[in-house]
Amino acid sequence: MEKTASVSGAQTIHKAISLLKFIARFSGEGARLIDLVRGMEIGQPTAHRLLQALVAEGLVKQDTSHRYHLGSLVFELSLTSGHHFNLADICTPVLKKLADETGDTSFLFLRSGDDAICLAREQGPYHIQTPVVPVGSRQPLGVSAGGLAILSALSEQEAAAVLKAITPRLVMFGNLTTDRVWEYYLKSNAVGYAAISNRAAPGVKGVGVPIIGEIGTPIAAVTLATTISRMTEERIQEIIPALNEAAEQIDVLLRQF
């Protein structure tokens, strides 16, 4: 995970950005100084000084209980880049291929904190299509197959923090409960993919796999949806390789961009 890259003559930058990436893994609770010092190869005074510098620049924010979070500058920088939009364009061929090969409707979900956003969608040639999630819509992680795939790629600690945060909104999705989502989380991790019946559209079932970014945290998910009767256990086993291949391709596209 830790790249030994580090261009000669800029070790400080390597350390500072490693801190940034490590903080990103504590989404929600935030990271304490000691968490960072223990998790990385860095001295405590050095970490403290670099963090203060990052805070002064706005890349990192420190809350009242001394915990470190990503700062608003990260958000602001990402807005000028337009990556969000381009990602949908770039991934469309992959989604189209996936839909064509399986016959069903394919989706790309993007993580946004405790939520998953449907970024793109493509319909396949099968005579029943289930475009159940509109492009641009947002649901808590764990609700749809895409959100569940992303949630399942988080550590138990992180997933628990997400679940806690989204609990008040879960009731709006077919009376989902925290316990139920936790069951799905465990099952997804056991079988290696996320499968779930759509709460808003009865009779529809989705299957998804996460896309893991450079930091090591899940950043997106690819899913396929069709009717429950069509999405049998047997068929899931057939389409999982196609899903994994699509996820791999999108991962490559992401790194290039």
Partner DNA sequence: TATTAATAGTCCATAATATGGACTTTTTTA
Partner DNA sequence: TAAAAAAGTCCATATTATGGACTATTAATA
Q: Which residues bind DNA (CB under 7 A)?
A: 8-13, 15, 32-34, 37, 42-46, 48-50, 52, 62, 65-67
Q: At what angle do helices 178-191 and 156-170 cross, to 10 degrees?
A: 140
The partner in contact with residue 66, picked from DNA, its own copies, none with C-beta cut-offs of 5 to 8 angstroms by kind, is: DNA
Calculate the alpha carbon distances from 238 to 26, 101, 233, 249 in Å.
35, 11, 9, 18
What ranges in 67-115 are assigned the alpha helix state H? 72-81, 83-102
Q: Considering the rule CB under 8 A, would residue 143 count as an interface residue with its own copies? A: no
Residue from 64, 170, 60 nearest 114 by CA: 170
Query: How many Å is the Cα radius of gyration of the chain?
Result: 19
The partner in contact with residue 180, picked from DNA, its own copies, none with C-beta cut-offs of 5 to 8 angstroms by kind, is: none
Q: Considering the rule CB under 8 A, would residue 157 count as an interface residue with its own copies? A: no
Among 33, 201, 215, 242, binds its own copies (CB under 8 A): 215
Other C-beta atoms lying within 10 Å of the C-beta of residue 214: 12
The partner in contact with residue 4, picked from DNA, its own copies, none with C-beta cut-offs of 5 to 8 angstroms by kind, is: none
Residue from 19, 10, 22 nearest 51 by CA: 19
Name the token pair of 194: 């996320």
The partner in contact with residue 70, picked from its own copies, DNA, none with C-beta cut-offs of 5 to 8 angstroms by kind, is: its own copies
**Per-residue contact string for residues 3-32; x = within reach of its own copies by CB under 8 A:** x-xxx-xx-xxx-xx--xx--xx-x-----
Quick one: 25 or 32, whose CB is closer to its own copies?
25
What's 216's DSSP letter? S
**Which segment (104-112, 120-128, 191-199, 232-240) binds its own copies by CB under 8 A?**
104-112
Give the integer Cα–Cα distance in Å for 161 and 163: 5
Which residues contribute to the site for its own copies (CB under 8 A)? 3, 5-7, 9-10, 12-14, 16-17, 20-21, 24-25, 27, 49-50, 52-54, 56-59, 61, 69-70, 72-87, 110-115, 136-138, 213-215, 217, 219, 254-255, 257
